[in-house]
Amino acid sequence: MSDILTGYFAPCRWQFWAPSAIRVVNWNIDRGLRLSEITEFLASQYADLLILQEVDLNARRTHYRNIAEELARKLGMNYVFGREFEELTQGSRTSPAYHGQATLSRWRFKNPRVIRFRRQSGFWRPRWFLPRTEPFQERLGGRIALITEVDVLGRVFTAYNLHLESRGADDLRLSQLNEVLDDAAKSVPRVPALLAGDLNFDVSEEHTAALTRQTGFHNVLGQSRFYTRPARKLFGDPRSIDWAFVAGPVKATLGQVHSTVKASDHYPISFTLWFS
């Protein structure tokens, strides 16, 4: 579970100075169930960096594919993949299935690592009285942050790819977010940092918003109200649970939620990072 998978499919670039800006997409891709549509949208964005959550590896529901590697091959990018859970209903003892986060880049990665959060929900753990069938979604592992340094021709910044807990109360998610902010504080504001992912709660609430501001992070979508997950039930409400923040000598522009994209149960967020 602690191993990080990597793959290198980005072609060599004959470029002699670092670009002043790169394009980024953050997206929970719902395991990669609709892979062709996901690939089509990502290809249309010409992004330099992809921050993806809910990515399958060797799961029956996604035809035993390595979703991160397939995307990297088709898009001509490098990738790192961190295992969040072993999906007990999607694999076997001899061929386990996993679910996690993937970060893809046209640039070189350095020092990939994982924070497995100290506080976790017990909701997913196996129980002897539950059958190992798909509706119960039994898992081993826990929520993580996948951290990579991205080297854009000598201009290095840190990318935090988060998937916070969907079960339990907001104080659990807040404690997981705090672990990431504490880690980022070691290098911010000297080194540019990007924090993005499926946070599973609305971090625009005043207490949490104040916390991110105090640690130097700014929402890439500004202060406008937006939704990144449509209502799941007839009388439900859409939710703001997917976020991206930047800190340090970098700013974000052209932030957009792509609410017409239906390839996942979350909407993608895109934006451009400009380096000071």
* C-alpha to C-alpha distance for 84 and 144, rounded to whole angstroms: 6
Instruction: Look up residue 18 and give its two tokens.
Output: 């670092």
The amino acid that residue 40 corresponds to is E
Does the pTM surpass 0.85? The reply is yes
The amino acid that residue 236 corresponds to is G
Taking alpha carbons only, the member of 88, 154, 145, 93 closest to residue 119 is 145
> Which CATH number do you get for residue 37?
3.60.10.10
Give the structural domain span for 269: 4-14+21-275
Per-residue buried b or exposed e for 27-47, using 16+ beta carbons within 10 Å of the residue's own CB:
bbbbbbbbbeebbebbeebeb
DSSP β-bridge partners for residue 162: 145, 197
Contact 103, 159 (CB under 8 A): yes
The amino acid that residue 129 corresponds to is F
Q: What is the mean pLDDT of residues 90-96?
A: 93
In degrees and rounded to multiples of 5, residue 62 shows phi and psi of: -115, 30
Split at pLDDT 50, 70, 90, the class of 102 is very high
pLDDT tens figures, 246-272: 999 999 999 999 999 999 999 999 999
How many structural domains are present in the chain? 1
